[in-house]
Amino acid sequence: MLLQIKNLKINYKSDSRLLEVVRGVNLDIDKGECVGLIGESGCGKTTVGLSITKLIPERKGNISSGEILFEDKDILKLNTEELRNIRGRKISYVFQEPFSSLNPVFTIYEQMRELLKEKDNTGSQIAEILKSVGLEKIIDRKNMYPHELSGGMQQRVMIGMAIASRPGLVVLDEPTTALDVTVQRQILDLIMELKNKMNLSILFISHDLRIVFNIADRVNIMYAGKIIECGPKERIISAPSHPYTIGLIDSIPSFEHRKKLFNAIGGRAPLFSELPNGCKFYPRCRFKIDRCAEKEPELEDVSSGHASRCIRIEDIKSNGIIKDR
Ligand SMILES: Nc1ncnc2c1ncn2[C@@H]1O[C@H](COP(=O)(O)OP(=O)(O)OP(=O)(O)O)[C@@H](O)[C@H]1O
Ligand code: SF4
Ligand SMILES: [Mg+2]
């Protein structure tokens, strides 16, 4: 495995107390694999992504336990110098808002040159990178500033900068959320093309199940700080095994022809300051029984490489309420 996150727990300070917002996450990424991390806003996705290079600001929170093994070394045990060598080189990031990631007062060319400063032949490398992300037409426009590019082109620049050092892992955190639908499609195609060409390993974070199903090989669904279901994409689509995942899938318009379990998942995710006992999905789950509120379910295998955190799933499936599709 290229990356293994083991039992990761992260706290944030909130009103002078600490709230655990990542509550024991396990997640693996193999070389050349695209792994999706999905969940509603605030469930902890970005926090997991940032922790991979220890980017949780110390004033605001801390990683209280766990291991993050990257190429078999625990990132949480590295010193500042070692971390600097990993950030942006071996592990790079692309975030939602390309414009806020670019510096408005420097040209694109200057920013790329800065990134590549230790390397020879910077000019030809910049041209190579721009070409690889479909920006041939701006290769000769060395005095172009970020605001002169569209959002989609800015995101192409960010992706180019993220892959420039041929990183082992790229974390893409909602990379298309700020873009309109046609541009989203083009950026996803570009990511897929680069993944195949460069054998990139990707953590793809999104709240949009459709996008993740398009792009990921394996999928992790997160709810209230924990993974509640994980498995190969095909298994999650054909045999979702947690009531929350089933609700998410049934709310995708293109899956409308399928048997509907929920029109939408009612209610809201609980606040971290008010997590219920037992299963955290309990308040919203139409299959709950009293026992669900006693103890938080473990993540248990439902088939090879596919696991769910629901004590009733076999029961629910065998009653024919949820059918494998
Ligand atoms: N810097 C911070 N200080 C305090 N709390 C924070 C901080 N960043 C995030 N949180 C809290 O941690 C929880 C997880 O946030 P996170 O940003 O990881 O969620 P997310 O799943 O990425 O959400 P979104 O889909 O909105 O991006 C949220 O409850 C959030 O309020
Ligand atoms: S454990 Fe119970 S409350 Fe939780 S998802 Fe399963 S059936 Fe619903
Ligand atoms: Mg986020």
User: Where does residue 207 rank: exposed (0-12), middle (13-18), buried (19+ CB within 10 A)?
Assistant: middle
> Does 42 contact ligand 1 (Cβ within 6 A)?
yes
Residue to mutate, 295, 296, 311, 317, ligand 2, most ligand atoms under 8 Å from C-beta: 311
Q: Which of 14, 22, 46, 51 should be mutated for ligand 1, with most atoms under 8 A from CB? A: 46
Q: What is the pTM assigned to this prediction?
A: 0.95
Residue 281 near ligand 2, beta carbon < 6 Å: yes
47 CA from centroid of ligand 1 (Å):
6
**Residue 262, pLDDT score:** 45
Query: With 60 as the cut, is the pLDDT of residue 324 above it?
Result: no
pLDDT for 316 equals 82
Select from 192, 146, 185 the least CA-distant residue to 170: 192
CA of 6 relative to ligand 2 center, distance in Å: 24
108-130 pLDDT tens trace: 999 999 998 766 677 899 999 99
Q: Please give the average per-residue pLDDT across 192-207, as a whole number.
A: 97
Asked whether the predicted pLDDT for residue 142 surpasses 80, the reply is: yes
Please tell me if the CB atom of residue 90 comes closer than 6 angstroms to any atom of ligand 2.
no
**pLDDT band, very low/low/confident/very high, at 321 (cuts 50, 70, 90):** low
* Domain map (residue ranges) of the chain: 3-216, 242-318
Ligand 1 close to Cβ of residue 39 (< 6 A) = yes
pLDDT given for residue 254 in this prediction: 63
State in words which class domain 3-216 has: alpha beta
Please give the Cα distance from 291 to 14 (Å, whole number): 31
Q: For 83-87, 115-119, 227-231, 286-290, which range has the lowest pLDDT when averaged over its residues?
A: 115-119
Q: What is the pLDDT of residue 66?
A: 98
| Distance from the alpha carbon of residue 151 to the mean position of ligand 3, in angstroms | 19
* 217 CA to centre of ligand 3 in angstroms: 21
**Cβ-contact 38, 227 below 8 angstroms:** no
Residues 283-307: pLDDT tens digits?
Answer: 999 899 999 999 999 999 999 999 9
> How far is 320 from 315, CA to CA, in rounded Å?
9
For the residues 13-34, what does the mean pLDDT come to? 96
At 325 the pLDDT is 42
Q: Whose CA is nearest to atom 26 of ligand 1?
A: 41
- Find out whether the beta carbon of 285 lies less than 6 Å from any atom of ligand 2: yes
Ligand that comes closest to the CA of residue 23:
1
Q: Is the shortest distance between the CB of 47 and ligand 1 below 6 Å?
A: yes
- The β-bridge relationship of strands 226-232 and 306-308 is antiparallel
Whether 257 shows a pLDDT value over 80: the answer reads no
pLDDT at 264: 66
Q: For position 40, what pLDDT does the model report?
A: 95
- Please, what is the average pLDDT of the chain? 92
Per-residue model confidence as pLDDT tens digits over 50-79: 999 999 999 999 999 999 999 999 999 999
CA torsion angle for 247, 253, 255, 260 (degrees, to 10)? Answer: 50
- Residue 12's DSSP bridge partners are 19, 61
- Provide the pLDDT for residue 117: 78
| Confidence at residue 261, expressed as pLDDT on a 0 to 100 scale | 47
How far apart, in Å, are the Cα atoms of 102 and each of 53, 99, 106? 20, 5, 9
Mean pLDDT across 241-268: 74
Q: What percent of the chain has pLDDT over 90?
A: 84
pLDDT at 120: 66
Nearest-angstrom CA–CA distance, 76 and 180: 37
The percentage of residues in the chain with a pLDDT greater than 70, rounded to a whole number, is 94
Instruction: Select the highest-mean-pLDDT range: 114-123, 140-149, 312-321.
Output: 140-149
299: CA distance to ligand 2 center in Å?
12
Ligand nearest to the CA of 240: 2
C-alpha 185 – ligand 3 centre gap (Å): 20
